[in-house]
Structure 1
Amino acid sequence: MTESYEGRPLPRPYDEVVDQGLGFDLGTLHSRRRALRFLGLGAAAAGLAACGTGTSGSSSPTSSSSSPSAPGQSGASGEIPEETAGPYPGDGSNGPDVLAQSGIVRGDIRSSFGEFSGTAQGVPMTLELTIADLANGGSPFAGVAVYVWHCTREGGYSLYSEGVEDQNFLRGVQIADDAGKVTFTSVFPACYDGRWPHVHFEVHPDQASITDAANAVATSQVALPRDVCETVYAESGYEQSVANLSRVSLDGDNVFGDDGGALQLATVTGDVASGYTVTLAVGVDTTTEPSGGGGPGGPPPSR
């Protein structure tokens, strides 16, 4: 019986490697494509790798997904995997388009804006993403527009889920500063049934381009570390997340599962009382073809 292949656990250890299923085959293909890209063995391999939903590797035992950066770089250690935007993007690609609304460019996304009113409750969270321009040597990607969105502490998505269809909170855009950094003030998201706790984001070339989802140069997700999630979910309002988290894992997630979120697992500091700071270095390569957006992402339960 073989229990692993190329360092990756086999989902069917009693079967041959060729009989492990489509998900395992795709993960193996991603791993080989990334190896080709690292070795510089052809632009074709690089283009193929950008079309996948993840990269291959082992699950990180820490809450950090970033490597120390060289001077003048933003710290991204590789191209962020292209992922689905899920069924609730709010970018016009599947129903509502919050990006066309005045007021979407904001740092504090806890409250609704425009015609809506309401504030999302939960443990405070500051999200910091630092975007690197890999096509230009990993330099800070100043001026790009980053759209982020995530679920409430109850697991619903504004504009879509029952009970919050008349809200547009937990969605916002920031423009990267000279260091390629954007910062959002929010609340810690829930773990809903079937998905690992996460935050969605899209990177657009500039503010003027955000009104068309097709302009995004990268679509991905931030994975949150288990230890922090367990602490947060012990707080009032997150009760359903406790059971949901117990039934999922990074390795089994339909988005992060091919590599355990190696380039997407955030570093988190702080505590429940003062709030948490979630940081991730995001490498974006504009020479590869983005393939995120649309598709399933594990729908949250109705509210």
Structure 2
Amino acid sequence: MGKTAPSGPSAQPPTYEGRPLAKPDEDIYDQGLRFDMQTLLGRRKLLAAFGLGVAGIGLAACGKSDDSGSGGTSAENTSTSAGEIPEETAGPYPGDGSNGPDVLEQSGIVRSDIRSSFGTGDATAEGIPMTLELTIKDLANGGAAFAGVAVYVWHANRDGRYSLYSEGITDQNYLRGVQVTDAAGKVKYTSIFPACYDGRWPHIHFEVYPDQASITDSTKAIATSQVALPADVCKTAYATKGYEQSVTNMSKVSLSTDNVFGDDSGALQLGTVTGDVTSGYAVSLNVGVDTGTKAGGGGQAPPGGGEGGPGGPGGTPPSGAPGGGGTPPSGAPPTN
């Protein structure tokens, strides 16, 4: 493709896109690094016309991350800045009013430290300290910082259970909270490292709303997704006291087999993590939100959709459809 061969004794050396080949007798792919870089850089303008850059080429060339999920610890994975965050199920335990309890209508939900319950709840979740920073990008506005949007975050505790729903903690609302993005589009929470429960890769749920006033109506969410946690960090965390069951649960799932992240191994959802079990972990992710596309997440997984429910994979999801009226489940942790 594009290679021009000599046609006679005095013909010029073969060329590719107007440039002489350094190795006329070799294939176009064997011309060496210098030739490859010149070809790559020479196409920058074309890529820019399609909204891509050299980094985009790198992502395309690398393809999916491996099953281990270890790539999330690399700074190179922090961005994926041009991609729209995939829409995912909010699961059966969102606490946003779409399936039973609605913590978003309670005074005190807007907070940065979500380790303790508020209101009538008095419990505090135990576990390895963790901060979560999400940077929301407005893709409908050229990827600018999305200031002033409200982000609701929730996740399981060290035992793999959810406040408001799981047996023994239905009267607690810890590990749930809302923050409004600053001028840089950032929100930051103080929490604990979540467990890996049976049937799911370790993750954190979140919903993005156009403003704080909209959080009392789950149908107004402009994005619903999940943050995947890297395997190497999880394995280290789960080797500590209190996370023993997570070791067994994580051995039975991978990013590529997970029912949420499996379609692309969490390419746009794998968080970057720094820190350690002693000082705590810091998780960060850039979240591209496009208000020009319809938000398709939210609600609970449909029956038979592979998300499962109490008791592990294939279990019966809790009753009640998105929109209210669900019966809070009890017993074992969920699988979405």
* TM-score, normalised via structure 1 length: 0.78
Identity %: 71
Instruction: Name the counterpart of 1:157.
Output: 162
Instruction: Name the counterpart of 1:292.
Output: 297
- Greater Rg by CA: 2
AA partner of residue 58 (structure 1): K
SS at match of 2:282: strand
Instruction: Name the counterpart of 1:59.
Output: 65
Instruction: Name the counterpart of 2:257.
Output: 252
SS at match of 1:283: strand
Supply the distance in 1 between the matched residues of 2:211 and 2:228 (Cα, whole angstroms).
Answer: 25
Instruction: Name the counterpart of 1:234.
Output: 239
Once the two structures are superposed, residues 3-60 of structure 1 have per-residue CA deviations (whole angstroms, 9 ceiling, x without a partner) of xxxxxxxxxxxxxxxxxxxxxxxxxxxxxxxxxxx969xxxxxxxxxxxxxxxx5125
**Match runs of 1:166-205 below 5 Å:** 166-205=171-210
AA partner of residue 92 (structure 1): G
**Match runs of 1:141-156 below 5 Å:** 141-156=146-161
Please state if 1:206 is matched with 2:235: no
1:295 Cα offset (Å): 2.5
1:159 Cα offset (Å): 0.2
Give the length in aligned residue pairs: 246
Instruction: Name the counterpart of 1:101.
Output: 106
SS at match of 1:280: strand
Supply the distance in 2 between the matched residues of 1:195 and 1:174 (Cα, whole angstroms).
Answer: 26
Q: Is the 8 A contact 1:90 1:99 kept in 2?
A: yes
1:164 Cα offset (Å): 1.0
Q: Which of 282, 294, 313 matches 1:277?
A: 282
Supply the distance in 2 between the matched residues of 1:68 and 1:59 (Cα, whole angstroms).
Answer: 10
Q: Which of 75, 78, 85 matches 1:80?
A: 85
Instruction: Name the counterpart of 1:135.
Output: 140
1:76 Cα offset (Å): 2.0
Q: Is the 8 A contact 1:80 1:220 kept in 2?
A: yes
Supply the distance in 2 between the matched residues of 1:99 and 1:80 (Cα, whole angstroms).
Answer: 23
Instruction: Name the counterpart of 2:131.
Output: 126
AA partner of residue 188 (structure 1): F
Supply the distance in 1 between the matched residues of 2:235 and 2:281 (Cα, whole angstroms).
Answer: 13
Q: Is the 8 A contact 1:75 1:132 kept in 2?
A: no
Supply the distance in 2 between the matched residues of 1:298 and 1:155 (Cα, whole angstroms).
Answer: 15
Give unmatched runs, 5+ long, in structure 1: 1-37, 41-56
Give unmatched runs, 5+ long, in structure 2: 1-48, 52-62, 302-306, 312-330
Instruction: Name the counterpart of 1:13.
Output: none
SS at match of 1:161: coil
1:142 Cα offset (Å): 0.3
Supply the distance in 1 between the matched residues of 2:254 and 2:193 (Cα, whole angstroms).
Answer: 18
Q: Is the 8 A contact 1:67 1:76 kept in 2?
A: no
Instruction: Name the counterpart of 2:54.
Output: none
Once the two structures are superposed, residues 199-224 of structure 1 have per-residue CA deviations (whole angstroms, 9 ceiling, x without a partner) of 00000000000000000000000000
Q: Is the 8 A contact 2:99 2:300 kept in 1?
A: no
1:299 Cα offset (Å): 3.8
C-alpha RMSD over aligned residues: 1.9
Q: Which of 88, 92, 95 matches 2:97?
A: 92
Task: Report the CA distance shift for 1:235/1:114 in structure 2 as closer, same or farther (over 3 A).
Answer: same
* TM-score, normalised via structure 2 length: 0.70
